[in-house]
Chains A and B, each alone.
Chain A
């Protein structure tokens, strides 16, 4: 595949689309319709719809990948895996059949979804409590000065959020609020500003074809000549 097809065309498309989306955010360019919306608004909506259509196509790609991988597990009888793969494919078929023939908004489909996925999802989510506890146990240990500070601050915030401690030691409320409102918020904002600037620079790299996460690593030849 030539560099033009593989890199230049995608980069040009990304740059043009990015400019249109940014123009729509910052500018109201004439002609403007009765609702006060610029022509860029309808263009951006169209682009978003294209994105949704492409996503739907890629779901098919995902389904093929699932069937390929798990059929292989079943045919090879991979120990500790094949029965789960079989169960997965059975469930996919059941959901697909009911969804196609009865509709994804039918009572049968809704029942199936609520009785299986919804319940399982809530179970996995609630297991997070146990993982957080074991993580906290490992975190709150005096090993170094930093971990010592972390432990003390962690215990203060923990005690502040426990009603019994907060009632008997009201000072914990002030300390806890200082940690969460002043220290944590200011650190989070610093991370946010850095992150936003990082996203801008990544955007520029993507729009100029320099980002490796978008089109892969550049060859020496492309580095010298530029991708665009």
Chain B
């Protein structure tokens, strides 16, 4: 009996290659920090929190739908990385932060991240978990209505949405826009990106949200993974060009290879 599952051999091979490349890039980054492309949305975070401090209003953060056990979990973790950074900024500026939770299982993780951020800022006593981390509902539109309610009642000066978003993306973006919040949104869900692009002030598209944690921490090894990711993209591009050329001359080699 075959040990490798047919149809997934090439995918496994590519995964191993990309792993090796990323681990190599992480090692290389220890010697020299790779240069970053500027991500305006993430650079604007201090400005967003600063605006909230000037207006004496809170900052709202949400990571959208999805749980830690679904395929969208990486997007959720990426959002939490930004949450940790924003919580630290809020602690430094003395701004109240509201994190709206859809999945209760994220609460302990988010609470711990935010608590650590406040400790790091030297203000652990200012973090009140029950008021900052708010569980709203595990049902999509109940959660959406609750977030809209927070927007209308507490009027956050800034709204940050990073994670997997579905139909509620437009509801959030429009509501916060109406109350005058400055907004940063990021998702890897293709259908929602245009909605955010139209309304929000800053946008992170697809892979940019995964790079956010590394970008904000400026940790050399984390930055190395982004370099490794770029090598992976170059590899994908080469395969695509080869596929187009070979298909054009009548060869199905690349197509067969991908289906292995």
Do A and B originate from a single complex? yes
Give the B-binding residues of A (Cβ under 8 A): 22, 25-30, 32, 36, 48, 51, 54-55, 58-63, 65-66, 68-69, 72, 80-81, 84, 117, 120-121, 124-125, 127-128, 131-132, 134-136, 138-139, 188, 191-195, 197-206, 208, 210-214, 216-218, 223
Name 6 extra pairs, CB < 8 A, besides A58-B103, A117-B142, A125-B167: A55-B104, A55-B105, A60-B104, A69-B134, A201-B228, A204-B19
Given contacts A54-B105, A216-B113, contact A124 B144 (CB under 8 A): yes
Min C-beta distance of B215 to chain A, whole Å: 10
Q: Is the CB of A198 within 8 A of B209?
A: yes
Given contacts A62-B101, A193-B236, contact A84 B8 (CB under 8 A): no
Inter-chain CA distance A125–B167, complex, in Å, is 8
Give the A-binding residues of B (Cβ under 8 A): 1-5, 8, 11-12, 15, 18-19, 22-23, 26, 67-69, 74-75, 77-85, 88, 101, 103-105, 107-109, 112-113, 116-117, 120, 130-131, 133-135, 138-142, 144-145, 149, 153, 167, 170-171, 173-175, 188, 190, 193, 195, 198-199, 205-211, 213-214, 216-217, 219, 221-222, 225-226, 228-229, 232-233, 236
Chain A hits for B142, CB < 8 A: 117, 120-121
Chain B hits for A125, CB < 8 A: 141, 167
When C-beta atoms are compared, the residue in chain B nearest to A147 turns out to be B198
Given contacts A195-B206, A197-B18, contact A28 B153 (CB under 8 A): no
Complex partner residue of A199 from B74, B85, B167, CB under 8 angstroms? B74
Q: Is the CB of A28 within 8 A of B134?
A: no
Q: Is the CB of B174 within 8 A of A195?
A: no
Chain B hits for A203, CB < 8 A: 74
When C-beta atoms are compared, the residue in chain B nearest to A36 turns out to be B1
Q: Is the CB of B81 within 8 A of A194?
A: no
Chain A hits for B222, CB < 8 A: 205, 210-212
Q: Is the CB of A212 within 8 A of B213?
A: yes
- The 5 closest A-B CB pairs, nearest first, are A198-B210, A213-B81, A62-B104, A198-B207, A62-B135
Q: Is the CB of A217 within 8 A of B217?
A: yes
Q: Is the CB of A188 within 8 A of B190?
A: yes
Chain A hits for B75, CB < 8 A: 199
Inter-chain CA distance A60–B138, complex, in Å, is 12
Chain A hits for B130, CB < 8 A: 65, 68-69, 72
Inter-chain CA distance A48–B139, complex, in Å, is 21
Inter-chain CA distance A92–B67, complex, in Å, is 23
Q: Is the CB of B214 within 8 A of A121?
A: no
When C-beta atoms are compared, the residue in chain A nearest to B2 turns out to be A28
Complex partner residue of B213 from A204, A205, A223, CB under 8 angstroms? A205
Min C-beta distance of A58 to chain B, whole Å: 4
Inter-chain CA distance A204–B108, complex, in Å, is 22
Inter-chain CA distance A170–B214, complex, in Å, is 49
Q: Is the CB of A212 within 8 A of B210?
A: no
Q: Is the CB of A194 within 8 A of B23?
A: no
